[in-house]
Amino acid sequence: MVMLQSAAEPATRQLLRMGDPCVVRFESGDNLYAFDTQVLCLAEQPFVHAHLAYPQGVQGTMVRRSQRVPVNDVVVMMLVMEEAGRKLSVALADISLSGARLVAGSRLGEIGERFSIEIPHIGTAGAERVALPCVVRYVREEQSVSAGGKRVYHHGVEFTELSRQALVFIERYIGDRVVEQRGIGA
């Protein structure tokens, strides 16, 4: 006998029989996958297992390792493209401990491309800049409502090889945004 979750009663676990429909869900890395199938055969030797029909399709979604916090103010940042050494000004739409979403009027790079974000802040020695090395994970082009209908590019970036100073900066920055959003201390 095989104990699997039935598609007919997803909240309960029950014994499946040959011909029963079921949903298979599994995780691989940072992704969750699911597909509808049907039980073809149940077996107990050499171990308990089920043979399932080949699925018509598999749905997948990426799972965030940490929740993104929206940024309500316009943050002036400089983007340092490592290969060309050029600097661009971009807007920070949201941020998490593992990455951010940047918005710019032009495409900043291709998926897999690496660059650093420099954010000005007041540190122990006065005005400083913290560098956040990152890699582009996605680029999405859309028409901006707030920018008068112009095309803007949303770039999902993952932070890589953060220094202790950069990690502390991100934690403090996220904490400050959460406090602002909740209206604490106002």
Domains of the chain: 3-62 (no CATH), 69-182 (2.40.10.220)
Query: Residue 133 half-sphere exposure, CB side, CA atoms within 13 Å?
Result: 8
Return the number of other C-beta atoms located less than 10 Å from residue 71's C-beta: 19
pLDDT in tens, 131-159: 889 999 999 998 877 667 788 899 999 99
Q: What percent of the chain clears pLDDT 70, i.e. is strictly above it? A: 72
Query: Quick check: 25 pLDDT over 50?
Result: yes
**Whether the Cβ atoms of residue 119 and residue 132 lie closer than 8 Å to each other:** yes
Q: Quick one: average pLDDT of 19-39?
A: 81
Q: What is the DSSP letter of 169?
A: H
Q: Give dist(CA 173, CA 92) in Å, integer.
A: 12
Answering whether pTM is above 0.85, one says no
Residue 101: closest CA among 49, 66, 58, 139? 139
Q: What percent of the chain clears pLDDT 90, i.e. is strictly above it? A: 11
pLDDT score for 11: 47
**Whether the Cβ atoms of residue 39 and residue 62 lie closer than 8 Å to each other:** no
